[in-house]
Amino acid sequence: MLGLNKNDTTLFLVVLGLTLLAPFILNPFPEGTGMAQFNAGYPDLMQRFVIFGIFAIGFNILFGLTGYLSFGHAAFLGVGSYAAIWSLKLFTLDVIPAIIFAIILAGAFSLLVGFISLRRSGIYFSILTLAFAQMSYALAYSVLTPLTGGETGLQIKGTDTPLLSNVAEGEIGRANFLGMEMGSGFDWAAGGWAFTFNLGYYIAAVAMLIAFYLSIRIFRSPFGIMLRAVKSNQQRMNYTGLSPKPYTLAAFVISGMYAGLAGGLMVAMDTQVGPERMFWTASGEVVIMTILGGAGTLLGPVLGAGFIKYFENIVSKINKDILHNWFAFLPDGFEDVMVSLVYPFVGKGWHLTLGIMFMLVVIFLPGGLVEGGQRLMGLFRRKSKSSEADEADGTEPAE
Amino acid sequence: MGILEVSGVNKRFGGLQALGDVNLSVQEQSVHAIIGPNGAGKSTLLNCLVGKLIPDSGSVMFDGQSVLGRKPHEINQMGISRVFQTPEIFGDLSVLENMLIPVFAKRDGAFRMHAIESVPQEKTVIARAEEMLDEVNMLEKSRMIASSLSRGDKRRLEMAMCLVQEPKLLLLDEPTAGMARADTQNTIQLLKDIRTQRGITMAIIEHDMNVVFSLADRITVLAQGSPLVEDTPDNIKGHPKVREAYLGEAQV
């Protein structure tokens, strides 16, 4: 289907199903119960899942295929965001042009950064990209204040009168898609459950599905083989009549455009942007997402992005009171001991849990969560096979 | 006029004259061996032919065009393929994918943005790659990851990747270095087959006299960066200057 082979089609359909049904899947616990705090099916977080999913999918095209580790991809996210907010402020409040501008500008910027950074490889390439991103951050923070709003960033203001949108004097315009506001949608209460369907999320979700589909196509294309050849042996590539640099640069620009798309979507969902979006920790985050999920795999980056955003937003909210509730069944002394043992790993300490998990994955599962999943599947298959074999043995008459 | 004409090539590394006034002419459809003791400049010469090094002076003409100043991939696209001392293949990729890459390179040139086309639909490319794998008896290994091949198979794969491009000149850099006797014999046989079946011009740098004398039509002996003598294998064997400079007292 759609030019994909059978396995890839299945994978795409699974992701399609999960994404479209996310408001249900991420809200498995009824409202008002103790477990409801683990529900992730609210628009703000769901949007973050898919937007960071796009960011990581794009990053994986560069890092997973060519092996070039960029430490400055947040710069393209930021440039995309600034492009989108200016489109909303000056051109039209419709989000589609804003997103398109974000992709184009991020692509152009990544062409420049890539052209220079790709003169080197390995650690020097990483440092160059990091330098570019930190320069962009510093510029956005200070010198370029007229363009970026400096420290306070940019928002849509009452004084903005976009060219193509009718905004009354003094009214603060809202981002929309064909006239429908991003926040629009409906809630559906069924039994104790409450599900929220949100236009903003579905726009971001469709964008992610397109991004995911394109990444499958790239992985399976001759271009994808060439990118893996870059990672594997550039010497042989040169002596096979191929020039590795334009291939790597193309991958760099594609992943920069993915970052721009993610940045544009962030602005479309929440119409503001500040320079911290380009800070080096943001670049590091996408690296961690990709490696945690499984660099070079199709699904890995999406999994990694979802995992980290879930931790950041859900596990970080577990406080001492909640822990006391959980361990209330224990005798008083034990309860306090358990709470003080667990507390460093949740709430504000969520980074500690994530860090430990990241180390475990890197050491024991170099292929990331995807490899973990494959191993589990493998175990399961072997077990069911051996039990079949046992049965077969059992039915055979003894000789 | 040979297919490869090297004339007056000099190359210095600091105070070391690595190549001094090298002249070499490789005739079409011949096998030309370049031998010489360690440090004679064999590898430097080879690197000057493929664009990895640029000579200080002199000219290198291939098929009537100068190769000087061109990048390795451009020289490959002109028709020169190179086999390395240790096989250079795409270790992380499958054997079939290794084979597809040179076929794509031959068809599409140094760069093409074919990012949406799907590989399984490139039927002619796959057919060509599989045909070549079949010729070197590696078709049944096409799904294996190339780094897991035995050393001999890696060598054959690398050779096949060069041959599938139908080069006008195949450069071999000590193709049997570090090989066991049996592997060496297999490689000699492989090269002989390539020669008789395809008539590809070859230039070989080699240490192993056995390999050189069983393959070459012409031999150039390099010593201290300059050609000492160029002749047929039979004449080289008995040449007193060669014995003195290179073979020493060894039995030939």
- Report ipTM (2 d.p.): 0.91
Q: What percent of chain A has pLDDT over 70?
A: 96
Residues 6+ apart with CB under 8 A from A245: A118
Mean confidence (pLDDT) of chain A: 90
Higher pLDDT pick, A27 / A107: A107
Q: CA-CA distance, A307 to A158, in Å (whole number)?
A: 38
Strands B57-62 and B4-13: antiparallel
Whether pLDDT at B50 is above 90: yes
Of the partner residues B71, B73, B91, the one whose CB lies closest to the CB of residue A233? B91
**Would A119 be classed as within a structural domain?**
yes
Q: Is A239's CB within 8 Å of B101's CB?
A: no
pLDDT tens digits for A169-191?
Answer: 778 888 889 888 888 888 888 87
| B contacts of A2 (beta carbons < 8 Å) | none
Of the partner residues A222, A232, A250, the one whose CB lies closest to the CB of residue B91? A232
Cα-Cα-Cα-Cα torsion B116, B120, B123, B127, nearest 10 degrees, comes to 130
Predicted confidence at residue B152, as pLDDT, reads 83
Contact between B102 and B164 (Cβ < 8 Å): yes
Where does the pLDDT of residue A226 fall: very low under 50, low under 70, confident under 90, or very high at 90 and above?
very high
Q: Which two tokens stand for residue A354?
A: 């994530």
Predicted confidence at residue A389, as pLDDT, reads 52
Q: Is B118's CB within 8 Å of A221's CB?
A: yes
> Are residues A186 and A57 part of one domain?
yes
Locate the domains of chain B by residue range.
Answer: 1-79+167-252, 90-166
**Would A219 be classed as within a structural domain?**
yes
Where does the pLDDT of residue B249 fall: very low under 50, low under 70, confident under 90, or very high at 90 and above?
very low
Whether pLDDT at A146 is above 70: yes
Look up the domain containing A48 and give its range.
6-163+174-297
Q: Is A222's CB within 8 Å of B89's CB?
A: no
Q: Which two tokens stand for residue B86?
A: 């240790």
**Would A399 be classed as within a structural domain?**
no
Higher pLDDT pick, A91 / B238: A91
pLDDT tens digits for B120-170?
Answer: 999 999 999 999 999 888 999 999 999 999 888 898 899 999 999 999 999
Contact between B62 and B33 (Cβ < 8 Å): no
> Are residues A212 and A120 part of one domain?
yes
Query: What does the angle CA A226 – CA A232 – CA A233 come to, to the nearest 5 degrees?
Result: 90
Q: Is A240's CB within 8 Å of B92's CB?
A: no
| A contacts of B125 (beta carbons < 8 Å) | 222
> Are residues A278 and A223 part of one domain?
yes
Q: Is B88's CB within 8 Å of A229's CB?
A: no
Best to test chain B binding among A239, A243, A248, A254 (most B CBs inside 10 Å): A239
> Are residues A346 and A244 part of one domain?
no
Best to test chain B binding among A242, A245, A249, A253 (most B CBs inside 10 Å): A242
CATH 3.40.50.300 fits B1-79+167-252, yes or no: yes
Predicted confidence at residue A393, as pLDDT, reads 43
Mean of pLDDT values over A70-74: 96
Of the partner residues A222, A232, A247, the one whose CB lies closest to the CB of residue B119? A222
> Are residues A141 and A239 part of one domain?
yes
**Would A61 be classed as within a structural domain?**
yes
> Are residues A324 and A287 part of one domain?
no
**Would A155 be classed as within a structural domain?**
yes
Whether pLDDT at A47 is above 90: yes
pLDDT tens digits for A314-366?
Answer: 988 888 888 888 888 888 888 888 888 888 888 888 999 999 999 999 999 99
Best to test chain B binding among A240, A242, A249 (most B CBs inside 10 Å): A240
Predicted confidence at residue B6, as pLDDT, reads 94
Residues 6+ apart with CB under 8 A from A91: A97, A98, A101, A162, A163, A164
Contact between A80 and A273 (Cβ < 8 Å): no
How many domains does chain A fold into? 2
Q: CA-CA distance, B77 to A238, in Å (whole number)?
A: 10
> Are residues A288 and A197 part of one domain?
yes
Whether pLDDT at B245 is above 70: no
Where does the pLDDT of residue B247 fall: very low under 50, low under 70, confident under 90, or very high at 90 and above?
low
Amino acid, res. B11: K
Give the predicted TM-score (pTM) of the model.
0.92
Q: Domain of A29: which CATH number? A: 1.10.3470
Nearest-CA residue of chain A relative to B160? A240
**Would A206 be classed as within a structural domain?**
yes
Instruction: Work out the minimum CA distance from A53 to partner chain B, whole angstroms.
Output: 21
Mean of pLDDT values over A103-127: 97
Residue with tokens 């993610």: A262
